[in-house]
């Protein structure tokens, strides 16, 4: 079973051919970070235009690399949401035309479900029930996953997404966009105890379930901007600032995830989304998992960030439930799991 996956929800134009829902036959990705870099974030109109300009080449290259004729593709899967409406529509329109021309089923896939199943690409078998932490530029969501396709949102950021906080912190240090990888790199050389930043809402209230696993990152961002200003330019504090900031984000994400795993008595924790590529988060989460007695499953760093292979994996699991979309598939910019 060969599935062609297509992903254009944000600023990466991606296509992949995946066999039997787990083996990557080929993948191709065109990033637009150069286009959006000078604006400090993704500009929706430019993202749509970028996808229009590259999608044909990206899909052709993925098929070429796979060494298969397009006729060998059994189904076409495309991200239908959540994401930027215009950007999503480029991938959807392309996928529709492709599926129609080939006479193959078209499947609209939820991007977040893609992030949840991404560890399968590194050979992991997902065991349910699980807690999934999806942390990216647009999402900081904790899910209780009862089984594939059955998700309950149990916590989320009440303001900024963790990736957004990384991007803003990086931009404040003049590190460019996307900022997460830059803070990760710089923070590794710094002392995380020199600047201690607030960890908003980190303690899990023992009273009531409502809001118990929610998070907040905007206060941290404000504290960071203030600390950068006070430390002055070029005094060698940047690595320590980055390390302190990163540690604060990591602490919040880990406390909430560990608390959720304990509350729901699950032994499986799945991480996904761009911020799951963060080296410090990966190390500390893995250490905590050993202490707390759960297993943490991590995608490879390059499959934490947006990619099309994860969309094909989700489609494969959906296909067994026979849930194919029709050609009137539309973009769902705010599609929740």
Burial of 15 (0-12, 13-18, 19+ CB in 10 A): buried
As measured in angstroms, the least distance from the Cβ of 186 to ligand KG4 is 11
Strand (E) or helix (H) holding 50: helix 44-66
Question: Using the rule CB under 6 A, is 86 a contact of ligand KG4?
Answer: no
Scan residues 159-178 and list those touching ligand KG4 (CB under 6 A): 163, 166-167, 178
Q: How far apart are the first and last CA of the chain?
A: 25
Q: How far is the CB of 308 from Zn ion (least distance, A)?
A: 11
Q: Give the range of 20-28, 135-143, 196-204, 207-215 binding ligand KG4 by CB under 6 A.
A: 135-143
**37 Cβ contact list (under 8 Å, min separation 6):** 176, 177
What, of ligand KG4, Zn ion, none, does residue 332 touch, CB below 5 to 8 Å by kind? none
Q: Which does 275 bind (CB under 5 to 8 A by kind): Zn ion, ligand KG4, none?
A: ligand KG4
At 115, list the tokens.
């992030």
| Position 305 contacts ligand KG4 (CB under 6 A) | yes
Q: Which of these ranges, 65-73, 116-124, 133-141, 202-210, lies near ligand KG4 under the rule CB under 6 A?
A: 133-141
* 138 is a site residue for ligand KG4 (CB under 6 A): yes
Site residues (CB under 6 A) for ligand KG4, limited to 271-300: 273-275, 277-278
How many angstroms separate the CA atoms of 334 and 337, rounded? 10
Residue 87 in contact with ligand KG4, rule: CB under 6 A: no
Alpha-carbon span 165 to 41, nearest angstrom: 12
Cβ 231 to ligand KG4 shortest distance, Å = 21
Helix, strand, coil shares of the chain as percentages rounded to 5?
A: 45, 20, 35
Does residue 306 belong to the site contacting ligand KG4 (CB under 6 A)? Answer: yes
Q: Which residues contact 250 (CB under 8 A, 6 or more apart)?
A: 278, 280, 281, 284
DSSP secondary structure letter of residue 277: G
Q: Write out the residues near ligand KG4 by the rule CB under 6 A.
A: 10, 136-138, 163, 166-167, 178-181, 184, 273-275, 277-278, 305-306
């Amino acid at each position: 079973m060969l599935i062609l996956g297509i992903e254009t929800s944000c600023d990466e134009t991606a296509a992949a051919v995946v066999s039997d829902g787990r083996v990557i036959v080929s993948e191709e990705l065109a990033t637009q970070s150069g286009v959006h870099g000078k604006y400090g974030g993704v500009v929706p109109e430019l993202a749509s235009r970028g996808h229009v300009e590259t999608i044909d080449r990206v899909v052709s290259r993925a098929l070429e690399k796979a060494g298969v004729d397009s006729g060998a593709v059994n189904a076409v899967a495309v991200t239908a949401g959540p994401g930027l409406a215009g950007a999503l529509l480029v991938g959807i329109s392309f996928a529709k035309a492709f599926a129609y021309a080939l006479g193959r089923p078209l499947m609209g896939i939820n991007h977040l479900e893609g992030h949840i199943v991404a560890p399968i690409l590194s050979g992991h078998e997902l065991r349910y029930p699980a807690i999934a932490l999806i942390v990216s530029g647009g999402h900081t969501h904790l899910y209780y996953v009862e089984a594939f396709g059955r998700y309950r949102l149990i916590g989320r950021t009440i303001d900024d997404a963790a990736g957004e906080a990384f991007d803003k912190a990086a931009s404040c240090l003049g590190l460019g966009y996307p900022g997460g990888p830059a803070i990760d790199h710089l923070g590794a050389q710094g002392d995380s105890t020199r600047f201690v930043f607030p960890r908003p809402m980190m303690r899990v209230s023992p009273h009531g379930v409502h809001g118990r696993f929610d998070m907040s990152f905007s206060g941290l961002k404000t504290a960071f901007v203030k600390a950068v200003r006070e430390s002055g330019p070029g005094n060698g504090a940047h690595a320590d600032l980055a390390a302190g900031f990163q540690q604060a984000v990591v602490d919040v994400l880990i406390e909430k995830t560990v608390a959720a795993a304990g509350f729901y008595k699950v032994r499986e924790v799945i991480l996904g989304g761009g911020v799951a590529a963060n080296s410090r988060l990966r190390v500390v989460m893995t250490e905590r998992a050993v202490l707390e007695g759960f297993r943490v499953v991590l995608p490879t760093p390059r499959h934490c960030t947006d990619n099309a292979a994860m969309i094909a994996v989700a489609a494969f699991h959906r296909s067994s439930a026979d849930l194919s979309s029709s050609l009137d598939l539309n973009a769902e910019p705010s599609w929740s799991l």
